[in-house]
Structure 1
């Protein structure tokens, strides 16, 4: 697996809040950080890394190219701007944030532009985010499956995306799960609560352990030190086959993120 199994997300975190979150995450043991151009916090993430006690080369850093920057004349300059904000010569992973079919995005061209950024040494790995099966196949056809490190998609016990996951895993493309806790909606779930009690764990840990056991990478965010530490401990939990089956039955197509202008037709 190319992608670190456990990272910290920075979606919706701004200013001092994101600086503190990232510094705390690095302090308690995280070594992967996920950001994006549209989050508007790359400079603060860069500042947090500089102010931490962790060397830049020990951190796996991911950013995502926003839709405005997909063209050949914008993608690489925009990534260079991101690198400047992040305070680095290269990131470990750069993703196309949304396929945006309604905006007439040409997936083949965008992937070629992203591959050029990789060939210029601006990013170690490249990948996609929020792509369905059809658009993932277009990306594969454009640049070759060996260049696509991951598809970062919304996945939680309430949205298990089985067809897409099966396709990605059959192609050996890493699956990165975001929104694994469904904006906190899974935290009060009766089934997860019962399983959590059996493991003397939190429901968040159980949801994350489920994702890890499915072979996904996870990037939960938190502004609280205790939660950041607690989330990491999900890696120590082993769920039984019966518990995994009970969680599988929570599927209800509970999608939280579906921007009409950006999202594909989901599988």
Structure 2
């Protein structure tokens, strides 16, 4: 996957944008925590801050952005490099599962079950249907077939046909998911670039951008992240709120909450 790595300057700007957005998010959380009697809803604006600052900083190197929606209501930004015919989005690694990127993981860290309808990640991944992904062994191996060939039938290929997808494929050759991860101290500790494969629903690591954190001009070492300490203690179930671009429908709520949602 090395041949699909991003330009180094673009990679640094992406990292800078994520760091600056996260810094702005912490500062706003701290400010609202001081000003308001309750401000827990601000826990859900982190993605907006990160998208906003990534758009601002990456614009300096020709990266464009457009607004999009995941599901019914949750807005996020799609970033595009028209010179390279590439698109990328940014996602919290907490809700990303490289073994099943459309399904992701739940707020509690459990792998989320597959949805019947294709979500936005699955649709966007179809941009990559011509990418040379690492080949995987199949269940059917004989002397007539290369041992690393992945087989798929006409029904799979037909499922790739979609008007919206066709437009994306006409404009872009490559689609990436950029993930960021925070450590036990709520500091950004890892940033990685992935390419999702629409055939097997797996995402493949293209590059680890974590070293760019050290070369960034955005300093987050002095951030006071104590305002985040109780965030995850307040939630012991899969939230029905949008989780960093993943939308929950009513039938995805825990059983104990379904009755309450209909009352």
Higher gyration radius (CA) = 2
In terms of fraction of residues, the more helix-rich structure is 1
Q: TM-score, normalised by structure 1?
A: 0.28
Q: TM-score, normalised by structure 2?
A: 0.28
